């Protein structure tokens, strides 16, 4: 195929995150997330954006998010968000257009064109894709080809520490051609976890050349920098008064985005609270409206139980709580462990076992208690809430929680590789 004329890029000189070079402008960073289940991806990307934006280099950061709830979060200075038309995901792992009355093919074409237009116009120095090397349904492929064609952008694949069981990951990566995509498009792989907890290189049998791209960041500690920013407000905040609850212990249940958290929410609302304790359920914005209405009716039967549909920052409630019941998503687990509160984790086991594996690894280190969802019932929740002597290990001393501190150095490392050589890109790549 004949080579096309290569347009001139408007990118200025590269500047490492966390520093400046003479005459160099601030670096531009794009964080992409497909966001099909819950709010975990956008919340993780916001943590990463805050870690990068708070450094001396003052990068300009554009989030590409697949959930319109992303607009509800507070963005640091220099960070903004472009929301893609949303994908939905059912409990069996099937995808559908969440809001638009279009076919899946039409939705993916639309999202892909928006992503391509964004990277062409924004011209990032650093592009960080979350979890899926080619994006949802390969929607990133045109944008990745354009970045290679211009040759000015360094690229990183960011992965949570556990994707799924090794057999499933091997099959999915083989069928999707992810090894080839990583070799062709990505300079580094950042794994947001502790290799001592889960060694993705070994568990997923990564090929040597792909394993050489891996950098373990450590877990992302959501309290890092948060306490300094919120300490006064937190100390003065009367959470129980806000909820019209009397004083005493608070039992908190959080279910992430809420799409698949209804069984846990119901079990919590039907459980018996310890004497003089109150309960708070945070349902999440993605829970179906009919389920939320049913849960509110259940809560109304208990004078010391409250329901909130959505909070952008659960940390004040977690820090006020005496005990926490939650699912096993990456961000929730990091928040629970960072707060150091006794926690009962009831992980999702379908369509992926990622939460189950994470809960088992953390439970083995006595960071949390785990209840398999097959044993979930109000009685099991009541028993744990009323159990004496429940405590939690200091998680930040047991596992590596230095991820947010390490990210600017990793960004500097990849940017100091300098611009790529522009490449000829052929159809089908």
In terms of Cα–Cα distance, which of 350, 351, 358 is closest to 329? 358
Task: Count how many domains the chain has.
Answer: 2
Q: Write the DSSP symbol of residue 30.
A: E
**Is residue 92 one of the residues assigned to a domain?**
yes
Domain co-membership, 213 together with 333 = no
In terms of Cα–Cα distance, which of 196, 190, 137, 131 is closest to 163? 131
What is the DSSP annotation of 252-270? Answer: EEE-TTSTT-HHHHHHHHH
Identify the pLDDT of residue 12: 35
| Token representation of residue 240 | 């129980």
| Token representation of residue 294 | 């049913």
Domain co-membership, 34 together with 139 = yes
Domain co-membership, 234 together with 214 = no
**Is residue 18 one of the residues assigned to a domain?**
no
Identify the pLDDT of residue 427: 43
Domain co-membership, 334 together with 243 = yes
Domain enclosing residue 387, as ranges: 226-398
CA distance 373 to 209: 38
Tell me how far apart the terminal alpha carbons of the chain are, to the nearest angstrom: 12
Domain co-membership, 136 together with 187 = yes
pLDDT digit string, tens, across residues 14-54: 444 444 333 347 899 999 998 766 677 788 999 999 999 87
Yes or no: say if 143 and 117 are a contact pair by the CB < 8 Å rule: no
**Is residue 180 one of the residues assigned to a domain?**
yes
Domain co-membership, 120 together with 268 = no
Identify the pLDDT of residue 429: 55
| C-alpha distance from residue 181 to each of 132, 133, 186 (Å) | 10, 7, 8
Rg for the chain (alpha carbons), in Å? 22
Domain co-membership, 282 together with 255 = yes
Can you give the CATH number for the domain in which 279 is found? Answer: 3.40.50.2000
Instruction: Render each residue's pLDDT in the chain as its tens digit; 429 residues.
Output: 333 333 333 333 344 444 433 334 789 999 999 876 667 778 899 999 999 987 666 899 999 998 877 777 888 889 999 999 988 877 677 888 988 999 999 999 999 999 999 999 999 999 999 999 999 999 999 999 999 988 889 999 999 999 999 999 999 999 999 999 999 999 999 999 999 999 999 999 999 999 999 999 999 999 987 765 655 544 445 788 889 998 899 999 999 888 889 999 999 999 999 999 999 999 988 899 999 999 999 999 999 999 999 888 899 999 999 999 999 999 999 999 999 999 999 999 998 999 999 999 999 999 999 999 999 999 999 999 999 988 887 788 899 999 999 999 999 999 998 777 666 554 445
Bridge pairing between strands 95-97 and 87-89: antiparallel
pLDDT digit string, tens, across residues 323-360: 999 999 999 999 999 999 999 999 999 989 999 999 99
Tell me whether residue 45 is exposed, middle or buried, using C-beta atoms within 10 angstroms of its C-beta: 0 to 12, 13 to 18, 19 or more: buried
Domain co-membership, 191 together with 324 = no
Question: What sections of 308-377 are H helices per DSSP?
Answer: 315-320, 330-339, 354-364
**Is residue 425 one of the residues assigned to a domain?**
no
Sequence-ordered list of residues with C-beta below 8 angstroms from that of 95, at least 6 positions apart, any chain = 36, 87, 88, 89, 104, 136, 137
Domain co-membership, 232 together with 199 = no
- The 3-state DSSP composition of the chain as helix, strand, coil percent (nearest 5) reads 40, 15, 45
For residues 146-184, b (16+ Cβ closer than 10 Å) or e, as one string? bbbbbebbbbbbbbbbbbbeeeebeeebeeeebeebbeb
- At 215, phi and psi to the nearest 5? -130, 125
**Is residue 270 one of the residues assigned to a domain?**
yes
Domain co-membership, 88 together with 202 = yes
Domain co-membership, 172 together with 316 = no
| C-alpha distance from residue 95 to each of 87, 103, 136, 169, 289 (Å) | 7, 11, 10, 19, 19
- How many Cβ atoms sit within 10 Å of the Cβ of residue 280? 23
| Token representation of residue 130 | 């979350």
Domain co-membership, 259 together with 173 = no
**Is residue 82 one of the residues assigned to a domain?**
yes
CA distance 370 to 360: 7
| Token representation of residue 360 | 């088992």
């Amino acid at each position: 195929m004949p080579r096309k004329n290569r347009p001139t890029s408007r990118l200025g000189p590269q500047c490492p995150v966390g520093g400046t070079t003479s005459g160099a402008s601030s670096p531009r960073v794009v964080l992409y997330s497909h966001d099909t289940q819950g709010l975990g991806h956008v919340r993780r990307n916001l943590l990463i954006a805050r870690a990068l934006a708070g450094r001396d280099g003052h990068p300009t950061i554009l989030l590409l998010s697949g959930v319109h709830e992303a607009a509800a979060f507070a963005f640091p200075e220099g960070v903004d968000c472009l929301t893609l038309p949303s994908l939905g995901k059912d409990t069996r792992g099937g995808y559908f257009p969440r809001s638009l009355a279009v076919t899946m093919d039409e939705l993916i074409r639309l999202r892909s064109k928006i992503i391509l237009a964004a990277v062409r116009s924004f011209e990032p120095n650093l592009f960080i894709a979350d979890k899926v090397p080619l994006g949802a349904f390969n929607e990133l492929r045109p944008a990745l080809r354009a970045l290679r064609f211009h040759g000015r952008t360094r690229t990183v694949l960011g992965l949570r520490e556990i994707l799924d069981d090794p057999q499933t990951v091997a099959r999915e990566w083989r069928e999707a051609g992810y090894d080839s995509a990583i070799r062709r498009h990505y300079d580094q792989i950042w794994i947001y976890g502790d290799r001592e907890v889960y060694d993705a290189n070994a568990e997923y049998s990564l090929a040597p050349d792909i394993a050489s791209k891996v950098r373990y960041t450590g877990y992302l500690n959501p309290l890092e920098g948060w306490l300094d920013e919120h300490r006064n407000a937190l100390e003065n905040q009367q959470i129980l008064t806000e909820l019209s609850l009397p004083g005493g212990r608070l039992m908190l249940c959080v279910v992430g985005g809420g799409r698949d958290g209804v069984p846990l929410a119901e079990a919590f609302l039907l459980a018996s609270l310890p004497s003089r304790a109150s309960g708070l359920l945070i349902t999440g914005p993605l829970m179906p409206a009919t389920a939320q209405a049913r849960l509110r009716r259940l809560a109304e039967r208990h004078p010391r139980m409250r329901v909130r549909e959505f909070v952008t920052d659960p940390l004040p409630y977690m820090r006020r709580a005496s005990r926490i019941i939650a699912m096993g998503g990456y961000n929730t687990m990091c928040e629970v462990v960072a707060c150091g509160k006794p926690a009962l984790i009831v992980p999702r086991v379908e369509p992926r076992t990622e939460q189950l594996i994470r809960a088992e690894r953390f439970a083995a280190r006595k960071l949390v208690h785990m209840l398999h969802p097959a044993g979930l019932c109000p009685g099991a929740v009541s028993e744990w809430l009323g159990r004496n002597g429940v405590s939690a290990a200091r998680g930040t001393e047991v596992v590596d929680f230095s991820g947010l501190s390490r990210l600017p150095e990793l960004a500097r490392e990849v940017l100091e590789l300098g611009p790529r050589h522009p490449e000829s890109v052929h159809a089908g790549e």
